[in-house]
């Protein structure tokens, strides 16, 4: 089974600073990392490969520094990594990004088929979660978002069964292959990479494609030109109000807490089921 994972290099938003004047991210203030959800996607691909055989290929779009993120995927266990990198891709929104990635996937599919595409549920810098479904739409395959478990893959019948996270639990869905999954972090724990993977990643050079390496590209759909998104206004989210202080002895405090929780009905949360 050939699995393709689309990944993105992002600034580590845990430590990133926001420019107080423009409200944009100060990208120099944080190191670039592999988008954490994408790491889970690669891990899932590697696990599926261990069971079903085949090959895990990683694809990313970004500046040359994004090679580091692809190498990280090789550490996790991916076999091959492609980076499409070109000034003409720059400034892309999710529409243009999914187009560029789709064009690269088309080119890859000339050499080998793709049975399954995996993405993280969203990138932690933009939080849109649109690129994955965008790719699926262009490939004309079903997108299954927010996947927390791959229950079954049948490569003979070309079927897959996954669990999708929904508000009050999860839903179990069957789809034909090929399809595209975007995964939640609950899907797996990224394993501590074995030493041979580390050595391979250290020496690995991702394959880099420019626009000219892709076939039949409509330049108008790339980069800033191909991006209809307009950012109207940006503002920092309102800070949540301070915590409520519950005073009194332990018994009184406990009573008040229980009353508070009950009043908010959090104890009646519906657990997921089939």
Q: Which stretch binds another protein (CB under 8 A): 51-59, 159-167, 182-190, 196-204?
A: 196-204
- Closer to another protein by CB, 203 or 264: give it: 203
Question: Does residue 199 bind another protein (CB under 8 A)?
Answer: yes
Buried b (16+ CB within 10 A) or exposed e, 206-245: bebbebeebeebeeebbbeebbeeeeeeeeeeeeeeeeee
12 Cβ partners below 8 Å, 6+ apart? 30, 31, 32, 33
The residue count for binding another protein (CB under 8 A) is: 11
Q: CA-CA distances (angstroms) from residue 214 to 86, 98, 110, 148, 261?
A: 11, 14, 11, 33, 56
Question: Does residue 235 bind another protein (CB under 8 A)?
Answer: no
Question: Does residue 231 bind another protein (CB under 8 A)?
Answer: no
- Closer to another protein by CB, 77 or 134: give it: 77
- Closer to another protein by CB, 31 or 113: give it: 31
Among 198, 258, 261, 262, binds another protein (CB under 8 A): 198
Compute how many other C-beta atoms are within 10 angstroms of the C-beta atom of residue 47: 16
Q: Which stretch binds another protein (CB under 8 A): 160-168, 187-195, 214-222, 244-252?
A: 187-195
Among 157, 167, 168, 203, binds another protein (CB under 8 A): 203
Among 192, 243, 263, 268, binds another protein (CB under 8 A): 192
Per the CB < 8 A criterion, the answer to whether 152 and 160 are in contact is yes
- Radius of gyration, CA atoms only, the chain: 21
- Partner residues linked to 153 by β-bridges: 160
Q: Which residues bind another protein (CB under 8 A)?
A: 191-196, 198-199, 201-203
């Amino acid at each position: 089974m050939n699995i393709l994972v689309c990944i993105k290099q992002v600034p580590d938003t845990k430590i990133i600073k926001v420019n107080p004047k423009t409200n944009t991210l100060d990208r120099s203030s944080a190191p670039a990392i592999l988008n954490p959800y994408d790491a889970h996607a690669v891990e899932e691909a590697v696990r599926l490969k261990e069971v079903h055989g085949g090959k895990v290929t990683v694809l990313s779009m970004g500046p040359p520094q994004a090679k580091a993120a692809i190498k990280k995927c090789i550490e996790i266990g991916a076999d091959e990594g492609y980076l499409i990198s070109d000034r003409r891709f720059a400034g892309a929104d999710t529409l243009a990004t999914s187009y560029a990635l789709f064009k690269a996937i088309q080119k890859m599919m000339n050499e080998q088929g793709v049975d399954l595409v995996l993405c993280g549920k969203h990138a932690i810098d933009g939080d849109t979660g649109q690129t994955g479904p965008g790719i699926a739409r262009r490939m004309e395959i079903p997108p299954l978002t927010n996947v927390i478990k791959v229950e079954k893959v049948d490569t003979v019948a070309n079927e897959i069964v996954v669990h999708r996270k929904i508000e009050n639990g999860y839903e179990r869905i069957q789809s034909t292959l090929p399809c595209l999954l975007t995964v939640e972090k609950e899907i797996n724990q990224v394993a501590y990479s074995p030493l041979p993977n580390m050595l391979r990643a250290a020496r690995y050079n991702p394959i880099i494609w420019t626009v000219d390496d892709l076939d039949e590209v409509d330049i108008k759909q790339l980069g800033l030109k191909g991006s209809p998104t307009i950012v109207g206004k940006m503002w920092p989210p309102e800070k949540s109000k301070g915590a409520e202080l519950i005073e009194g002895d332990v018994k009184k405090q406990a009573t008040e807490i229980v009353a508070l929780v009950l009043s908010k009905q959090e104890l009646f949360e519906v657990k997921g089921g089939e």
